């Protein structure tokens, strides 16, 4: 299962527009609050210059980029945590994601109805964040009732840890702060995972701006950036309308179009990279004449776990991995040259794979 990022936000802020551009899938982008009722899941390839460079040097039969998933989660409105709109259904979809892209409307357009009466990104952020928080508080309160009782009548360390985690989470959420800011021990953090809290997931903001504000920003984006900085969250500025135009172009036409609007790359690339970092993901490569390929792992994954992304046999029968950095490949021009420089290493089970490693696994099953 690839890791995924749920796109949330008030209706009509541009979620489906951005999702469609990301995936070129056929989610409906229409000026109607409950247009996208079913969550739309799309696979997105992760753009990576290094993969292109390796391909140029190795000239394989094929090149395969790595992917991640985005999910367009519609219909979150004020009161969702109390079942407003299609509240519970949507919250359930968010609970199943690994990270959250929170889209905030930062463009004026009299043609596009704003559900809360006017463009006010901070107010919009508050509505969504409050709903997510209330949903979590509900989960935590229910769990607290059960676990407090259990903890009183037991010496079971696991239950005591869970009770401690739940108590801390309750205090944090009641103070209006997201669960991810709770000061939990490592064990408590493990216990908290069982709760699938929404505000425990990492979150970034997407400021959907008009074309004019893309480089310089505007008063709305300034407000969003200030708030996000206070929360320690990233902001990605994107013009949804422009991105959907770019997504429809042939790759050959794309470059010229981007130059004409003063962009180096589609804003979506920045969004994909930010989401990738938000999920704490890194990329390693496998490289041969048959295939050059990028693979995704969580930062901190050891060599056998990284091998397991390719095939479970690779993990089960892992012996060792030949390893060098793609930067060394770029510096010396070929694997042979890297080898001659003594920069190709043999790594064992405890090796923690780094972003940009090129790996060749030896295994035996
Ligand atoms: N002017 C402008 N309109 C946009 C932009 N992004 C989306 N829209 C329009 O806003 C409306 C709602 O967009 P949609 O993506 O369906 O919003 P969702 O409800 O958040 O999924 C549609 O009519 C879009 O064409 C943008 O960057 N600029
Ligand atoms: Mg939508």
Q: Percent helix, strand, coil in the chain (nearest 5)?
A: 45, 20, 35
Q: DSSP 3-state assignment of 206?
A: strand
Conformation bin of residue 217: beta by default, left when phi > 0, alpha when psi is -120 to 50: left
Instruction: Compute, in angstroms, the gap from residue 249 CA to the centroid of ligand 2.
Output: 22
What pLDDT does residue 223 have? 95
Do the bridges between strand 291-298 and strand 281-287 make them parallel or antiparallel, or are there none, so unpaired?
Answer: antiparallel
pTM for the complete prediction? 0.87
- In the chain, which stretches have pLDDT less than 50? 25-37
The ligand whose atoms approach the alpha carbon of 14 most closely is 1
Q: Which DSSP string corresponds to 143-196?
A: HHHHHHHHHHT---HHHHHHHHHHHHHHHHHHTT--GGGS---HHHHHHHHTT-
The ligand whose atoms approach the alpha carbon of 105 most closely is 1
Is the CB of residue 346 less than 8 Å from the CB of residue 320?
A: yes
Query: Using CA atoms, how far apart are residues 167 and 99, in angstroms rounded to an integer?
Result: 24
Retrieve residue 140's tokens: 């935590």
| 107 CA: nearest ligand 1 atom | 28
What pLDDT does residue 279 have? 93
Q: Is the CB of 241 under 6 A from ligand 1?
A: yes
Is the CB of residue 330 less than 8 Å from the CB of residue 53?
A: yes
pLDDT digits over 252-280, tens only? Answer: 788 888 888 888 888 888 999 999 999 99
What pLDDT does residue 30 have? 42
Instruction: Compute, in angstroms, the gap from residue 59 CA to the centroid of ligand 1.
Output: 41
What pLDDT does residue 192 have? 94
Is the CB of residue 201 less than 8 Å from the CB of residue 279?
A: no
Q: Is the CB of 75 under 6 A from ligand 1?
A: no
What pLDDT does residue 32 have? 40
């Amino acid at each position: 299962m690839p890791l995924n990022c749920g796109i949330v936000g008030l209706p009509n802020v541009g979620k489906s527009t951005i999702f469609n551009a990301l995936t070129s899938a056929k989610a409906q982008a229409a000026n109607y609050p409950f247009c996208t009722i079913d969550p739309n899941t799309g696979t997105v390839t992760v753009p990576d210059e290094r993969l292109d460079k390796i391909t140029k040097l190795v000239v394989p039969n094929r090149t395969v980029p790595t992917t991640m998933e985005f999910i367009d989660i519609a219909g979150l409105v004020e009161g969702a945590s109390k079942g407003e709109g299609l509240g519970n259904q949507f919250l359930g979809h968010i609970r199943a994601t690994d990270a959250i892209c929170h889209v905030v409307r930062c463009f004026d357009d009299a043609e596009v109805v704003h559900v809360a009466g006017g463009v006010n990104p901070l107010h919009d952020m508050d509505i969504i964040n409050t709903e997510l928080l209330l949903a979590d508080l509900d989960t935590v309160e229910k769990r607290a009732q059960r676990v407090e009782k259990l903890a009183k009548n037991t010496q079971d360390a696991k239950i005591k840890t869970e009770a401690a985690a739940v108590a801390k989470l309750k205090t944090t959420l009641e103070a209006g702060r997201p669960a991810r800011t709770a000061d939990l021990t490592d064990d408590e953090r493990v216990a908290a995972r069982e709760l699938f809290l929404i505000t425990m997931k990492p979150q970034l903001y997407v400021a959907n701006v008009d074309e004019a504000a893309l480089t310089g920003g505007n008063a709305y984006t300034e407000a969003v950036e200030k708030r996000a900085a206070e929360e320690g969250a990233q902001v990605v500025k994107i013009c949804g309308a422009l991105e959907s135009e770019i997504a429809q172009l042939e790759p050959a036409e794309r470059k010229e179009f981007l130059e004409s609007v003063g962009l180096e790359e589609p804003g979506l690339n920045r969004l994909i990279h930010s989401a990738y970092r938000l999920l704490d993901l890194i990329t390693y490569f496998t490289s041969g004449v048959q295939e050059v390929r990028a693979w995704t792992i969580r930062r901190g994954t050891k060599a056998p776990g990284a091998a397991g992304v390719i095939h479970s046999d690779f993990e089960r029968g892992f012996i060792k991995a030949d390893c060098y950095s793609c930067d060394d490949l770029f510096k010396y021009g070929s694997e042979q040259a890297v080898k001659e420089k003594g920069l190709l290493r043999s790594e064992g089970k405890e090796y923690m794979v780094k972003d940009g490693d090129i790996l060749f696994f030896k295994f035996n099953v």
